[in-house]
Structure 1
């Protein structure tokens, strides 16, 4: 693994939330850069500054949007370090597989939950 996931989570846990630069989707894209050396957010990083603008960019379909934007293959089962979209408290969020759970960026820190992935890339 190019970058260690636990170190990445600890290093980014306290970064202040900012739509378009430190949010759930960009946080996962930054992991992809550190882990695989590819940036799935290259074409849209920094192009939105609110949740409404993000929803406009994704068309309200995060899974479909990332299917088009993510250059990683879709997986049927997740491995540590893979990325995906999960549902948390009624919201679809980008997440990273870590120790049998999913880590996702929240406005204040990182959440780690057991959840079924709606889509997995790796």
Structure 2
């Protein structure tokens, strides 16, 4: 499956990564489609709210160590120059209303010069600064 086919699938935002994805399970679902291994397998269905998701991420020491640990166990390697299909931790603005928006770190998939991520309104591809990027094993 290529990135275009993956992004064209019907995606729903769901905390916990069951019957949909959140901002961290979305790139894990991409890894599952690409290499048949789900780096979020141990987490899916263990939380249902934003607060529960944040508590899990914080238990790993934050977003970067969380993603590093889960992606390393499937053989993904860190890269400095992300390409289409690579998984990244990006800086993004989140929040429904403009007044509620805050900068946060979320998981995304490189899509040309953009980063594709899931949002309650659906999939978005946007330019973003990446903090770290990983390439899936072939």
TM over 0.5: yes
Structure 2: distance between partners of 1:17 and 1:116: 22
Matched, 1:83 2:87: yes
Normalised TM-score (structure 2): 0.80
- Structure 1: gaps spanning 5 or more residues: none
1:35, CA displacement in angstroms? 1.1
* Equivalent in the alignment of 1:4: 2
CA RMSD of aligned residues (A): 1.3
Residue of 99, 108, 113 corresponding to 1:95:
108
Post-superposition CA distance 1:80-99 (Å, at most 9, x none): 10001101110111000001
Structure 2 match to 1:111: 124
Structure 2 portions without partners, runs of 5+: 94-102
Say yes or no: does 1:31 pair with 2:44. Answer: no
Q: What residue number does 1:17 align with?
A: 13
Provide the TM-score with structure 1 as the length reference: 0.90
Q: Deviations over 1:62-106 (max 9, x none)?
A: 111111111211111101100011011101110000011100000
Larger radius of gyration: 2
Misfit runs of 4+, over 3 Å: none
Q: Give SS of 2:9's match.
A: helix
Aligned counterparts, 1:51-66, within 5 A: 51-59=50-58, 61-66=62-67
Deviation at residue 114 of structure 1 after TM alignment: 1.1
